[in-house]
Amino acid sequence: MMTQRQSEGAHSSGPVLSGPEGGALSHHRPRPIWRTSRPLRAVLVGATGAGALAALVWTAATGFVEPYVALAFCLVVAAGELARITLPGHREVAPIASAGAISYALLLSLGAGPLHHSALQVVAVVALGVALGELPHIAVGRGPRVEDVARRVFATALVAVAFRPLVERLDLSGPSVTATLLMATLVMFAWAVDSLTAAVLRAERLRTRLAVAVRDELRAQFATGVAIGSSGVLIALACTVTGLAGLLVFIAPLLVSQVAFRRHAEVRRTYLETVRALSRVTEVGGYVENGHSRRVSHLAHGIACELGLAEAELLELEYAALMHDIGQLSLREPIAAGATVLASPREQRRIAELGSAIIRETGVLDNVAETVRRQCEPLAGDGDEGVPPLGSRIIKVANAFDDLVGENGDAERRTAVLERLRMDTDSEYDPRVVDALATVLSRV
């Protein structure tokens, strides 16, 4: 029967679901080591790593130009990489390291003497600094996201390859309007390329639409990009007058900005962890199966990415999916296995409304509360409110699927439940959402 979970499913191996930022849902079958589900990431990391290694070998063979200056900037990059932070959306950034790297690429002179280091030396110094800064992280098991490290080196290489030849050709030996405009233009270009690269990697990782990923990345990286780019240009210009003292003077404001970015990220992370902990109350109380809210959240996230929801909408959907069953706490007797899809429409509506009321008490999650309130409505809506929000329709499909399949449903049962949902797309479930669910499941 489709209305009951089969006990034998408890012993079968189901899909292994990663976190919302962990990309597509993965299956337990091993992947051959010579294949990758993220070829663009592999190309970026491989090409950047090979280029950095070649630059290191060439620079070591020919000798470092102005070695003490190179050492100073290498140490700044290393310190900045050591202090890297993770921003919302699992974006790993190192503002001080990036600003130091860009300023070294743009450096014209140091005090009274002009500098003549090449673009290859810039790449070599930055790559060495990044490696030194990451060693302590790796030693304690906090390895970096290699694509983010590769992007930082790649962005610096773009600036260096474009700017260093122009220094000799245009005889740029000190601060000038031409030099400043050229620096600013190249930094903006590098930021645009880096944002596009990040968007392509994000679209590949989350299996979402590229246009959505580009918009999310431009919005998310604007503040940090402005801080890093302007600091890099200011440091390069200041060092031509004050020497290495300018490096320390203009790193200080960036350090303050990094502290602010870190606090913002910690607040967001604490908030999400609080919501996740709250979602487990129904599991601890025996109202739903262990892991149900997490599985619904992961499925909803995969569906939403397939449908092209923006990052802000994904976050609200994650909150709503995690707390979609919190209204069950008002029940005197738990529903069998916590499967609200088996409850009467009246009971489902009551659970949704009570859950929404609980969420509204926070005073900051009104959109999430509305998504939870309307999760049980049919496709055409209930009353005069019209079609439910897309987030509600996604949760309705993801919840019904997990209620009927459970944690360990085999492939045959998943297929049968999916067909069951398709049969109700005329009245209950959004056909686009069910099709997106089918696409997500096809990858596991």
Mean pLDDT of the region 310-332: 87
Kindly tell me if the per-residue pLDDT of 14 is higher than 50.
no
Is 364's pLDDT higher than 80? Answer: no
Q: What is the share, in percent, of the chain residues with pLDDT greater than 70?
A: 89
pLDDT over 90 for what percent of the chain? 50
Confirm whether 23 is domain-assigned.
Answer: no
> Is residue 29 situated within a structural domain?
no
How far is it, in rounded angstroms, from Cα 377 to Cα 136? 52
CA atoms of 37 and 408, how far apart (whole Å): 24
Domain boundary residue, one of 240, 264, 288: 264
Same structural domain, 250 and 331: no
User: Predicted confidence band at 20 (pLDDT cuts at 50, 70, 90)?
Assistant: very low
Instruction: For 257-302, write each residue's pLDDT tens digit.
Output: 788 888 888 888 888 888 888 888 887 777 778 888 899 999 999 9
In a domain, 3, yes or no: no
Instruction: Supply the range of the domain harboring residue 128.
Output: 39-264
Residue 200 lies in a domain: yes
Q: Would you say residue 333 has pLDDT above 60?
A: yes
Please check whether residues 162 and 243 belong to one and the same domain.
yes
pLDDT band with cut points at 50, 70 and 90 for residue 18: very low
Residue 78 has pLDDT above 90, yes or no: yes
> Do 253 and 294 belong to one domain?
no
For the chain, report the end-to-end CA distance as a whole number of angstroms: 24
Decide if 281 contacts 148 (C-beta within 8 A). Answer: no
pLDDT at 270: 86
Q: Which of 28-37, 148-157, 223-232, 326-335 has the lowest mean pLDDT?
A: 28-37
Contacts of 148 (CB under 8 A, 6+ apart): 91, 92, 93
Residue 1 lies in a domain: no
Residues 6+ apart with CB under 8 A from 55: 120, 121, 123, 124, 127
Kindly report, residue by residue over 112-143, the tens digit of the pLDDT: 678 889 999 999 999 999 999 999 999 999 88
pLDDT of residue 35: 57
Q: For residue 12, what pLDDT band results from cuts at 50, 70 and 90?
A: very low
Residue 6 has pLDDT above 50, yes or no: no
Show which of 230, 264, 298 is a domain's final residue.
264
Give the pLDDT band (50/70/90) at residue 3.
Answer: very low
Distance CA(153)–CA(161), nearest Å, equals: 12
pLDDT on residue 298: 94
Residues 307 and 205 in one domain: no
Q: 250 and 349 in one domain?
A: no
Per the listing, tokens 């020497």 go with: 243
**Of 47-51, 338-342, 368-372, 405-409, the least confident:** 338-342
For residue 373, pLDDT beyond 80: yes
Q: Are residues 298 and 415 in the same domain?
A: yes
In sign, the C-alpha dihedral spanning 288, 293, 299, 305 is positive
CB 398 within 8 A of CB 321: yes
**Together in a domain, 160 and 242:** yes
pLDDT at 306: 94
For the domain that residue 389 is a member of, what is the CATH number? 1.10.3210.10
Indicate whether 391 belongs to any domain: yes
Residue 28 located in a structural domain: no
In the chain, how many domains are there? Answer: 2
* pLDDT value of position 232: 92
**Could you tell me if 298 and 251 lie in one domain?**
no
pLDDT in tens, 166-212: 887 877 766 778 888 999 999 999 999 999 999 999 999 999 999 99
Same domain, 239 and 105: yes
- For residue 82, the model assigns a pLDDT of 93
Q: Assess whether 174 and 90 both reside in one domain.
A: yes
Residue at which a domain ends, from 200, 230, 264: 264
